[in-house]
Amino acid sequence: MGILQGDDWCNPRPRGVPHVGMRTPWGKAQTCDKMFEGCWDVTTAGHGGLKLSAALQRLIPAKWRCSGGWYEEDCEALIVRWFFFDRFDMSPAVRPVLLAGLKASIIKWWPDLAEDQGARLTTRMERLQLPLN
C-alpha cells in the first residue's frame, strides 16, 4: 500500500483516467476533458495542463517527458501538441495555421526541441505547403 491513496496525486478512478476532484500538480481538478485516447485537458481553479496516459508518455523521447505525464498548459503542453499534433481534433482548414503557430511557439519556448526535431518539423511544414521560416 502506497503513501498516497484515494483522490491523492496520480491515483485517478478508474485507474489511469483523470477525474474531477483528483489532485494535480496545480491543485484539485475542476474539469477533465478527453482530447483523444490517452490525453486529457485538466483544469484547476488557478491553472491546468495536459495529462498523458503511461502508454503515450512512453512515446515521447525521454529527454522531453514531464514527470508523471503532466504537462502544464502554458509551455510544456507544446511538447504534447508537437508529438501528437495529428491526434488533436481540428478542422482541416485550421490545421496549417495551428501547425505554423505551434512551430513558432516551439522555436521560441523550446529551441532545443526545435533543433532536435528539425527534420520532422521541416517535413510537416512542407507536407502542408507552409513556409519554413
Q: Are 75 and 110 in contact (CB under 8 A)?
A: yes
Does residue 58 have a pLDDT over 70?
Answer: yes
Report pLDDT for 103.
Answer: 86
Query: How high does pLDDT run on average in the chain?
Result: 83
Report pLDDT for 127.
Answer: 66
Residues in the chain: 133
Burial category of 54 from C-beta neighbours within 10 Å (exposed 0-12, middle 13-18, buried 19 and up): exposed
**Tens digit of pLDDT for each residue in 10-52?**
444 566 789 999 999 999 999 999 999 999 999 999 999 999 9
Report pLDDT for 131.
Answer: 56
